[in-house]
Amino acid sequence: MSGLLALLDDVAAIAKVAAASVDDVAAQAAKAGSKVAGVVIDDAAVTPKYVTGFEARRELPIIWQITKGSLFNKLVILMPGLLALNAFLPQAITPLLMLGGLYLCFEGAEKVFHWLFPHGDAHVEQDLDVGDPVHLERERVKGAIKTDFILSAEIMTIILANVEASGFWMDAATLALAGVAVTALVYGSVALIVKMDDIGLWMAHNGRTGLGRGMGRGLVRGMPKLLKTLSVVGTAAMLWVGGAIVVHGLEVLGWPWFYETVKHAAAALADQVGQARGFVQWLVTALADGVLGLVLGLLLIPVATRLLGPALAAITGKAGH
């Protein structure tokens, strides 16, 4: 009997350790996931364009296909690679983060440049000319998953960089949980955004009260404005996050001048405003990071379009985007 009680005590102790481990994984996943807010906003803002032009009944299936591709990107390709890199070559994490940050700066700056100097996009026009809707859907999904891979790489690298080292399996569990949670948040939001006008249309026609029908009409009219706002917010987030990653990376690599300068300037301005000190300090830092991100991105546009694009096209045999 005493042996059985001892065994039950051991089982209870193991259960407590397991529960604590689960709590630690969840806590670390939540903490690390909060660091990728800017990239998540951009991901949610970018994805709806891949389902435009299709019948309403195909929108959710397309989003589900992209979601599965995103999970494959994060859990099957990126997670093992990043964990191996973290185990055997951890010093490469910061340069990889900086490369991802520079990509975000480029993407954000390219959108700003397009807003300031509108120009046609031959690839978009070619895409719209595709006569076979099945082929178009397949190509859109492939394009969305390729775009997701870049953003997922940045998301997973940021998460890993913010996970407290606690062993391979704990890091893997945290990375997997945060990756799945971020994917669910992004594509759940995308599904809601994409179907919001349909929901509004149904409410406008089937609402039992004038208020309900009015809210439905408001949703239908408001969706274009919401998508435009998301696009602006997503672009700003890309520049801010990209610039911040580069600044932090430079600090880690031994070049802290920009980080220290902005930190002191933000603190000096924040000291003058009293109760809003924390917000002002964050705002100044975010603006400085965003301006740096925009400058870096604008400098990268000719590099990407005139050097990297043609080089990649020559290697792959495909026209560069």
261-299: b or e for each residue (b if 16 or more CB lie within 10 Å)?
ebbeebeeebeeeeeeeeebbeebbbebbbebbbebbbe
**What's the pLDDT score for residue 294?**
94
Looking at the whole model, is its pTM more than 0.85? no
pLDDT of res. 43:
62
Query: Could you tell me the mean pLDDT of each successive run of 10 residues in the chain, 321 residues long?
Result: 42 36 46 53 64 73 90 91 87 85 87 79 48 76 82 81 73 84 86 81 81 83 78 81 88 88 85 76 88 93 81 63 47
For residue 224, the model assigns a pLDDT of: 77
Residue 288's pLDDT is what?
Answer: 92
Instruction: Identify the sign of the CA torsion 119, 302, 47, 315.
Output: positive
Q: Which of 156, 159, 147 is nearest to 190 (CA)?
A: 147
- Residue 119's CB is within 10 A of a number of other CB atoms, namely 7
Give CA–CA dist 240/235, Å, rounded: 9
Question: Which phi-psi region, left, alpha or beta, contains residue 167 (left: φ > 0; alpha: ψ -120 to 50)?
Answer: left
How far is 304 from 301, CA to CA, in rounded Å? 5
Q: Report domain extents, the chain.
A: 25-316
Burial class (CB in 10 A: 0-12, 13-18, 19+), 305: middle
The structure tokens listed for 215 are 């809210």
Phi/psi at 218 (5° precision):
-65, -40
Tell me if 109 sits within 8 A of 183, measured CB to CB: no
| 15: phi then psi, degrees, rounded to nearest 5 | -60, -40
Cβ(168)–Cβ(83) below 8 Å: yes
What count of Cα atoms within 13 Å lies in the side-chain half-sphere of residue 259?
A: 13
- Give the DSSP H/E element, type plus range, for residue 88: helix 79-88
pLDDT at residue number 239: 87
At residue 23, the pLDDT reads: 44
